[in-house]
Structure 1
């Protein structure tokens, strides 16, 4: 595990934090997954198109959707906006630096973070500025209100003017000395900027960075830094002011983001985010179990061991299906009612690199090799 623990560097200055890869906390081997059996497509889905970007290994990738545009990035600095209706490029840019996280976009401004801890912003595929950060960032920037917000690994939150790169404000919150090398939570809820810091969701005034509220989903426990590691991981499920999220290997829970109060938490042992709607939440646990919780109180509706011992992505709730990728390049469509298999889709055999997304009527998944696949109902 220690070979996966790295010191974070901001430019040439060493930051006094350690970054821990989420996979480094897993055992070095796991039991062999059960055979899936033949695919019986209850729900008809066809591959509509394929596209490519560079390999996305070692990028904390968040595939961004704005209308019918899907924006994503590769490890070697390639950023592409793809039309989900056709799979064709809207624009494509090469930044010529290795990337650590991305993508954030509002449809015009697009932001990524380099492994050298620089936030890089483009306007319609044309780079317009770069600014150094105090530490690496593993969470995709948030672009909203003509501003770019960045959550860095030293638990600082910074705001920049999207057009000029001028730093508007920066706030840093104390926390445990270890951070997770995995995408966290940075989102807008009404007029509040919500960030995941350690085991808390924190609401900021986006205009000046002052803290409006803090809502703890989990607290550090244990006798050493690794055992005490607790982070909020993406993705999340938002319905109006209700925001539900996962604390890494600790809990799932929901908060009222208007008041900053915790509605409920339940113990859970997963490392990927959750998704859902006004009635249900869905998540994948560390052993490959898929779980459904009732949003109202967090009680379990069902669990499924069908994908046990597979390394699974965070889910996407899409109509009647819970869509989940695995580390063999398969995409599983399960019934939201009882996890019954509805279909199974194939890609290029490399791991699905990020949680699946929906753009219009197209399901989009990205593989570690840089394959981008668009699927549609028959």
Structure 2
């Protein structure tokens, strides 16, 4: 592992002075994988598991599809108030009718979009590659603010405010009507920052943010810290091994918030007071989702796991999707839905992981977890297709 020494000299890690206010370094999960591969003399990258013929134990129908342009892993659709908000990397932001897929409005910002979309159903927010936080209402730009640091997490629009988690591990709050800055809450920055979407959600009257390997409860009115709970603790002998950023999405049921720390652990926390209910070692790199009984996640090798929400004990495990580049899961109805890097959407039984059916979009990779829009399951592909299926 000598290649990990002198980490700041590695190709693939970029200093972002001027992009992060405290000069942290940005590293992607792909770079970490490349570094670890370079440090070993092991076999070639495993091939994706071959799939058995589709089970087709449930019927689905494609309800509608739309197009927003080529996308990337930090452009996740958002479904709220009967609309699906989506963005393409080249600058298109769209609100689609969740029932029909027709445009409610569409706007081209004419500049690349880095992160999005956040919305409360009225106001939508994205962040451009130039670090501009841009808000949109009914297809018209309302205001924009230049952020002092990059962001990899979609803005949260809630309570007539827009909250942003930037890569220097700072949470910023802005007035939703004017863009005026309301408060800033900062935490010490580690040398490395994961270039992957993190955690930023509202739980009752508390704003919950993932800061390094911890979930922190903030007062949304002034940014003061209400509680601070660990998901995982940094360990290891180098900066890559100590990187334990919380990754999104997270699973919330009432005050129970369950989250994953990158390649370290999954934990459930009571957001009422910040008490850790349980934490379990886990090697996944994407977020989790669940219901009031189970929490679901995918490991970095493609195993799909379920944990008991109250205790963290194992529920079930599926091995047949290994090495297929799985997204985070989405629990909906009686199934768990997840996409893969080969363009398929897998629907598994929530009870035991049995395959229920398999869906195909446009053949390009599905990079982020599916979302639920009414009774429709919605995914967005690398090629920018937005697809919605309904059960028959």
Q: Is the contact made by 2:216 and 2:227 (CA closer than 8 Å) also made in structure 1?
A: yes
Partner secondary structure for residue 144 of structure 2: strand
Partner secondary structure for residue 238 of structure 1: strand
Partner secondary structure for residue 270 of structure 1: coil
Q: Give the root-mean-square deviation of aligned CA atoms.
A: 1.4
Q: Residue in 2 aligned with 1:20?
A: 27
Q: Is the contact made by 2:21 and 2:148 (CA closer than 8 Å) also made in structure 1?
A: no
1:10: Cα distance to partner?
4.5
Rounded to whole Å, the distance in 2 between the matches of 1:373 and 1:258 is 36
Structure 1 runs of 4+ off > 4 angstroms?
none
Q: Cα 1:101–1:5, aligned 2, differ >3 Å: closer, same or farther? A: same
Partner secondary structure for residue 60 of structure 1: coil
Q: Residue in 2 aligned with 1:51?
A: 66
Q: Is the contact made by 1:350 and 1:368 (CA closer than 8 Å) also made in structure 2?
A: yes
Q: Residue in 2 aligned with 1:184?
A: 198
Q: Is the contact made by 1:7 and 1:15 (CA closer than 8 Å) also made in structure 2?
A: no
Q: Is the contact made by 1:61 and 1:183 (CA closer than 8 Å) also made in structure 2?
A: no
Q: Residue in 2 aligned with 1:99?
A: 113
Q: Is the contact made by 1:246 and 1:272 (CA closer than 8 Å) also made in structure 2?
A: yes
Q: Residue in 1 aligned with 2:16?
A: 8
Rounded to whole Å, the distance in 1 between the matches of 2:18 and 2:142 is 21
| Structure 2, unpaired ranges of 5+ | 5-9, 38-43
Q: 1:299 aligns with which of 313, 335, 356?
A: 313
Count of residues paired in the alignment: 376
Q: Tell which deviates more after alignment, 270-279 or 15-24.
A: 15-24
Normalized per residue, which structure has more strand?
Answer: 1
Rounded to whole Å, the distance in 2 between the matches of 1:331 and 1:309 is 15
When the two structures are superposed, what TM-score results if normalisation uses the length of structure 1? 0.96
Q: Residue in 1 aligned with 2:134?
A: 120
1:8: Cα distance to partner?
2.8
- Structure-to-structure mapping, 1:1-378, within 5 angstroms: 2-8=10-16, 10=18, 15-27=22-34, 30-57=45-72, 60-378=74-392
| Structure 1, unpaired ranges of 5+ | none
Partner secondary structure for residue 324 of structure 1: strand
Q: Cα 1:150–1:97, aligned 2, differ >3 Å: closer, same or farther? A: same
Deviation by residue 1:276-297 (Cα, 9 ceiling, x = unmatched):
0110011000000000100011
When the two structures are superposed, what TM-score results if normalisation uses the length of structure 2? 0.93
